[in-house]
Structure 1
């Protein structure tokens, strides 16, 4: 390029404004509270999803970005899309709540951001095989919309960091009965009240995904929390379709990997398989699903699942039998959040047409709604709470009352 050409190009470029970032209006804002930003390589992600996990950034030409460089000479940016995120980016603290039963010593593990003022407490229960961090990204989004809200998200027994030991030293017998899981949730809520030194529980919104939906519905129907339960929300589980889907669970479990060489590879598998469609959610929730064997049988792949889902098979039907009836009969506001209307069974379709509960659908999300689209899920949950909030509405005084008050003050001054 001659000197004249260079001068011409420089003069033209100088007229352009500074770089202006271009954003996809459908992209989920899932930046964690510490401000960590995600970089993704466009060719590796499906652009059909509206989550931030599958949106490739738009490149804006500018002098600083080597507009005229050959493609092969452009430096390849490293991505941190498989780097783990810590729970501290999403919750303020973790709780360890101890409970003794006849033969067990249980230490429940939970994450919490306490409510402020008279804010509600969203109590989250994850699905089978997940952990309390399944709601991490959603919890952060709820706080953006409703800063006074609190979020409590527990690890169920044999999940996450919750531990069980027998008092006699014998192996722990697996007990995933719905009744047992419901008592666990109640113990966590009461234990949280004790540890946080609350005189009384704040208003509660129970939220459960998959198995968690069955648990929170059972707790709401039981009525042990009384009027403190304002409402409850069930995420992507319906009795009829859930029981039908159990027939294919064995096939699913046989096709997923049993081991991973690293946490990064596990995060990548969840995203590439579209099990979780949002990178932020996968980076915070997946590490809690795995544990590293001390003496691995395969040293090249030492990371295994923390919860063996196959062991839960004897309890599957117990979880979902009668779920629709309990969901409709329990006291409090009701929300059903689904990834598709095809999941509705006959009983719920009729009840929905009769206006007995609220229904919201996120058709571009997968089964893990709260992880795939945390911002939209959060908006639905906050709106749902506001519709069921019983806090007295404080109205401004009427103009006539203000004028009468001023007249009385003026009269008293004249005396």
Structure 2
């Protein structure tokens, strides 16, 4: 470059402004924003995270990088996602109306007593089937809430009638006449079976049905014994297509009764709230489906407000049904169950949580193809609650196989001969 060119360049540079100052904060101090705050961030190896939402907890989990990138206070890089911002808390009770169309109170006058049966109902549509359910001891009609929703998905025209047995849920028994009832309610198999028949007939009368729809009985534990007893009586006639029982077998049920009192003694006497009761059922694995627990457990508890009650111990929510007081009826519920199950008219379905529950009579019947067996080893005793979707699929297929409305029978020989003549 010549001397003239150098002089010209220096003159031009002298006229330019000074370099702009560097930002006050260095790169390490710049805030970092996320394009999507909901993106899942995988932790680095050997990092431990807590549920603490504070910024100190977030930064402590990435101490090696705090001198490099500092997250914005409004975007905690390592904070765990929280639950839904609004709505019910995870263990809040759910309403029966989220699962059934309506509830009915059916008065049933009898000798020396008036029973007011409480039932939950979802009506069948366009000649769809009606599934009539009966819960186990200590439970309620809401035990079948989740199954009802899943059945409507599998069979959109189906209906469900789910009752509260006497001494359970909101069904009440009022004594009348000169006799007084002492001790626990009569929960004999004969009485419970008659109650189930009365509920079906009273529902038909209440809804002005000219005839009953095709039915399938579904019974869990004690409910399986009740539905099987009514099915074997033949009182339902041809409207009963079949019956399914959930996790109840005569032999294993009678064996389990020996330890029933021990089990009842380990249960909490009460709970401080309904949410605490729901939590105990899920933590103890009594119920393995949280959604089902949120709708069925509240009906198992009642708030004790009577003078001299145990509400002062901070656990006002106590068990609605005194199962220990029903011990005189336990054996009568299940004796002869296997024989009645195999001999009753109609399709038969047995759902179990394990094949070890089968007794000798049912093993022989299974080998002879007298009933359908389905095992859900991942479920607990409450199969229809723990595995509601799978149970609904099995029950829907069971109904389709026994649905007589889809059958087209060939004409009789006599009719063909008359047509030719």
TM range (shorter): 0.7 to 0.9
Map of 1:149 onto structure 2: 158
1:358 aligned onto 2:344:
no
Map of 1:379 onto structure 2: 393
Map of 1:332 onto structure 2: 346
Q: CA deviation at 1:82?
A: 1.2
**TM-score under structure 2 length normalisation:** 0.77
Q: CA deviation at 1:286?
A: 0.5
C-alpha separation in 2, matches of 1:322 and 1:75 = 53
Residues 304 and 311, structure 2, Cα contact 8 Å, conserved in 1? no
Map of 1:99 onto structure 2: 108
Map 1:139-178 → 2, pairs under 5 A? 139-168=148-177, 170-171=180-181, 174-178=185-189
Map 1:215-234 → 2, pairs under 5 A? 215-234=226-245
Residues 166 and 172, structure 1, Cα contact 8 Å, conserved in 2? no
In structure 2, do the counterparts of structure 1 residues 6 and 230 end up closer, same or farther at CA, with 3 Å as the change threshold?
A: farther
Q: Which runs of 5+ in 2 are unaligned?
A: 1-24, 41-49, 52-70, 410-421
In structure 2, do the counterparts of structure 1 residues 4 and 378 end up closer, same or farther at CA, with 3 Å as the change threshold?
A: same
In structure 2, do the counterparts of structure 1 residues 140 and 77 end up closer, same or farther at CA, with 3 Å as the change threshold?
A: closer
C-alpha separation in 2, matches of 1:183 and 1:75 = 51
Map of 1:69 onto structure 2: 77
User: How many residues align structurally?
Assistant: 350
Map of 1:57 onto structure 2: none
Match of 2:269 among 250, 254, 258: 258
C-alpha separation in 1, matches of 2:121 and 2:334 = 28
**TM-score under structure 1 length normalisation:** 0.79
Larger mean CA deviation between 369-378 and 122-131 belongs to 369-378
User: CA deviation digits over 1:349-386, x for unaligned, max 9?
Assistant: 11111111000011010000111111111111111100
Match of 1:297 among 303, 306, 310: 310
Map of 1:410 onto structure 2: none
Larger RCO: Structure 1 or Structure 2 (Cα < 8 Å, ≥ 6 residues apart)?
1
SS of 2:391's equivalent in the other structure is: helix
C-alpha separation in 2, matches of 1:376 and 1:75 = 30
C-alpha separation in 2, matches of 1:67 and 1:391 = 61
Map of 2:248 onto structure 1: 237
C-alpha separation in 2, matches of 1:329 and 1:358 = 14
1:85 aligned onto 2:99:
no
C-alpha separation in 1, matches of 2:181 and 2:327 = 19
C-alpha separation in 2, matches of 1:143 and 1:71 = 40
User: How large is the Cα RMSD of the aligned pairs?
Assistant: 2.8
C-alpha separation in 2, matches of 1:361 and 1:68 = 46
Q: Which runs of 5+ in 1 are unaligned?
A: 21-41, 44-62, 396-415
Map of 1:117 onto structure 2: 126
Map of 2:20 onto structure 1: none
